[in-house]
């Protein structure tokens, strides 16, 4: 356990009438630092909340954005919702798989990228869309996956072709 986790847990707990409401904020905070939630992290968080490990695991495993396996530095979520599919998201996914040399659900050997499907990301007017570390890249050309990988160095900027 990192020394600051205890303090974060205390601060989050103070914000809510029910102590367990602080659980997801703490998991978010730790994952933002560590990149994912290891078994050890689940154990430590359970200790901080005086909860069974199984309880923390039940919460962490329910939500798709909590990663229980190690992920790359950049998590690429390709929206595969219907509106994005109509705009070529399957082709975009194929091209990304080819470009990164991995399949959806996998992480590159150098630990840089994890490629995942996302359900509708609520940007259907800009289809197809992708999130890199939850930052939007909109109105993409399915044949130009490199745009994502190059500009993901500065993920604050959205791609506007």
Least distance to other proteins from the beta carbon of 126, Å?
Answer: 8
**What residues form DSSP beta bridges with 17?**
none
Cα→Cα distances 153→71, 73, 138, 157, Å:
17, 11, 16, 10
- By CB under 8 A, residue 10 contacts other proteins: no
What phi-psi label fits residue 41: left (phi over 0), alpha (psi between -120 and 50 degrees) or beta? Answer: alpha
Strands 130-132 and 74-79 come out as antiparallel
Least distance to other proteins from the beta carbon of 116, Å?
Answer: 9
- By CB under 8 A, residue 58 contacts other proteins: yes
Stretch that binds other proteins, among 1-9, 39-47, 63-71, 146-154 (CB under 8 A): 63-71
Out of 131, 132, 148, 159, name the contact with other proteins by CB under 8 A: 131
114 DSSP 8-state letter: E
Q: Which is nearer to other proteins, 72 or 130 (CB)?
A: 130
- By CB under 8 A, residue 121 contacts other proteins: yes
Stretch that binds other proteins, among 1-9, 57-65, 68-76, 142-150 (CB under 8 A): 57-65
For the four alpha carbons of 34, 36, 40 and 42, in that order, the dihedral sign comes to positive
- By CB under 8 A, residue 59 contacts other proteins: yes
Instruction: Put the strands of the sheet holding 113-118 in their side by side order.
Output: 113-118, 74-79, 130-132, 135-137
Residues interacting with other proteins, by CB under 8 A?
15-25, 27-28, 58-59, 62-66, 77, 80-83, 85-86, 89-90, 93-94, 103-105, 117-125, 127, 131, 134-136
């Amino acid at each position: 356990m990192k020394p600051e986790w205890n303090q974060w847990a205390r601060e989050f707990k103070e914000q809510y009438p029910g102590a367990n409401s602080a659980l997801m904020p703490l998991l978010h905070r730790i994952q933002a630092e560590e990149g994912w939630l290891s078994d050890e992290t689940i154990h430590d968080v359970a200790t901080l909340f005086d909860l069974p490990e199984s309880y923390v695991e039940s919460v962490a495993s329910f939500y798709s954005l909590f990663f229980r396996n190690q992920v790359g530095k950049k998590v690429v979520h390709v929206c595969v919702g219907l509106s994005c599919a109509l705009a070529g998201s399957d082709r975009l996914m194929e091209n990304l798989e080819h470009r990164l040399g991995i399949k959806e659900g996998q992480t590159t050997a150098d630990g840089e990228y994890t490629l995942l499907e996302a359900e509708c990301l609520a940007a259907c007017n800009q289809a197809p869309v992708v999130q890199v570390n939850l930052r939007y890249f909109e109105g993409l050309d399915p044949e130009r996956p490199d745009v994502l990988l190059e500009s993901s160095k500065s993920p604050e900027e959205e791609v506007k072709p």
